């Protein structure tokens, strides 16, 4: 059927088409998203599986599709709003534009732009739960990346924004995720774990919640337990902005476990996907140094410090990472810190 005709008859803007092709026991699922007004193809993906893995593959396809469409449709809506120059932005317009920016955030500048849009939406509608939660989440990410200039004030503000929002809607997944991040930043790690598990129970295919649960387990000193949810996050969102973070988290977990070769592999993958982020370079430096590849380790360390000059020593790095229990810190001292020290990072 003609997609434009279908869109007109059903009154829809976008059409998702799919097909399954079998070759023996192997199946390939093809998907594509089409603009029903113009007929333009906007996005496509494919999944391969076999008969034995089909039930698990179906769950993964649903989860990845839900996440991808959420991000893609938000981007498209944001682009339409920006094109309507004569249109006065509503709180919802500002939220959509902010979320589209937030999803592609990988730099301080894009995060600040997303936060600015969220703050405008909240100013126009102070009672808006989505706006309160969006501001809170962006402030938490700002703290987590070391970009906040008023950490304690921002943490207190996040608490004031989130708790009333959750009281009004206990099933708000984004609010649960923001609270999970806040609790980790406060080093209330068991509470953080509960919030991530709650978010996943509400939305089982949420890649970001799975990633953050894995990270929280790492900081609880349980890197082995953290690996499966991080792997799930990487499968659910293989092409989106959270994947490099998942690779970094896997490198971190394997490094803490003393599994140096997979740590190097995942750190390289993370660096290849996001070379402008300092974390993969630091992890790669530590892993390579523990593998006695000191020249490459030193080069990776130099690049990591170039990207984040404030983390020029182990003392500065520890001062920033204020979360993590004693078990995590003991594992880190024997692996990450030892590797960075061998790569050439000074103590102070």
Tens digits of per-residue pLDDT, 147-167? 999 999 999 999 999 999 999
> Given this model, what pLDDT does residue 14 score?
87
Residue-level pLDDT at 241: 65
Q: State both tokens at 86.
A: 């004569």
User: What spatial distance separates the first Cα and last Cα of the chain, rounded to whole Å?
Assistant: 67
Amino acid 120: pLDDT: 95
How far apart (Å, rounded) are the C-alpha atoms in residues 58 and 174? 25
Specify the pLDDT at position 209.
94
Alpha-carbon span 213 to 190, nearest angstrom = 11
Nearest to 134 by CA among 155, 105, 152, 158: 158
If residue 128 lies in a helix (H) or strand (E), which one and from where to where? none
pLDDT for res 236: 80
Residues of the chain with pLDDT under 70: 81-88, 105-106, 238-241
Give the integer Cα–Cα distance in Å for 301 and 296.
9
What are 104's two structure tokens?
Answer: 């592609």
Task: Output DSSP code: residue 242.
Answer: T
Phi, psi of 188, deg, nearest 5: -95, 70
CA dist., res. 178 & res. 184, Å (int): 10
pLDDT, residue 52, reads 79
**Cβ 148 vs Cβ 322: under 8 Å:** no
Domains with residue ranges and CATH for the chain: 222-348 (1.25.40.10)
State the CB neighbour count (10 A cutoff) for residue 71: 20
pLDDT score of 87: 58
Enter the pTM of the model.
0.82
pLDDT at 55: 76
**pLDDT of amino acid 144:** 92
Cβ pair 65, 6 in contact under 8 A: no
Q: Which residues pair with 5 in a beta bridge?
A: none
Radius of gyration for the chain, computed over Cα atoms and rounded to the nearest angstrom: 22
């Amino acid at each position: 059927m003609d997609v434009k005709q279908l869109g007109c008859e059903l009154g829809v803007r976008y059409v998702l088409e799919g097909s399954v092709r079998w070759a023996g026991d192997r199946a390939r699922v093809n998907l594509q998203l089409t603009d029903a007004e113009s007929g333009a193809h906007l996005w496509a993906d494919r999944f391969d599986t076999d008969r034995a893995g089909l039930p698990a593959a179906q769950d993964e396809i649903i989860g990845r599709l839900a996440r991808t469409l959420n991000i893609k449709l938000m981007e498209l809506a944001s682009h339409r709003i920006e094109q309507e120059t004569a249109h006065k932005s509503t709180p919802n317009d500002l939220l959509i534009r902010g979320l589209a920016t937030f999803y592609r955030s990988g730099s301080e500048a894009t995060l600040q732009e997303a936060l600015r849009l969220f703050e405008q939406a909240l100013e126009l509608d102070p009672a808006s739960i989505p706006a309160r939660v969006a501001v809170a989440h962006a402030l938490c990410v700002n703290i987590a990346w070391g970009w906040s200039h008023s950490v304690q004030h921002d943490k207190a503000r996040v608490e004031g924004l989130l708790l009333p929002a959750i009281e009004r809607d206990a099933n708000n997944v984004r609010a649960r995720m923001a609270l999970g991040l806040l609790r980790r930043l406060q080093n209330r790690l068991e509470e953080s774990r509960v919030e991530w598990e709650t978010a996943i129970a509400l939305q089982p295919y949420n890649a970001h919640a799975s990633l953050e649960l894995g990270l929280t387990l790492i900081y609880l000193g349980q890197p082995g337990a953290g690996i499966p949810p991080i792997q799930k996050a990487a499968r659910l969102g293989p092409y989106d902005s959270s994947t490099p973070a998942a690779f970094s988290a896997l490198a971190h977990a394997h490094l803490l476990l003393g599994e140096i070769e997979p740590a190097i592999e995942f750190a390289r993958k993370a660096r290849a996907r996001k070379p402008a982020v300092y974390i993969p370079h630091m992890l790669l430096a530590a892993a390579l140094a523990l593998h006695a590849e000191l020249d490459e380790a030193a080069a990776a360390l130099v690049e990591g410090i170039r990207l984040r000059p404030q983390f020029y020593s182990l003392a500065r790095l520890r001062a920033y990472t204020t979360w993590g229990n004693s078990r995590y810190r003991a594992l880190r001292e024997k692996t990450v810190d030892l590797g960075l020290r061998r790569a050439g990072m000074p103590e102070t």
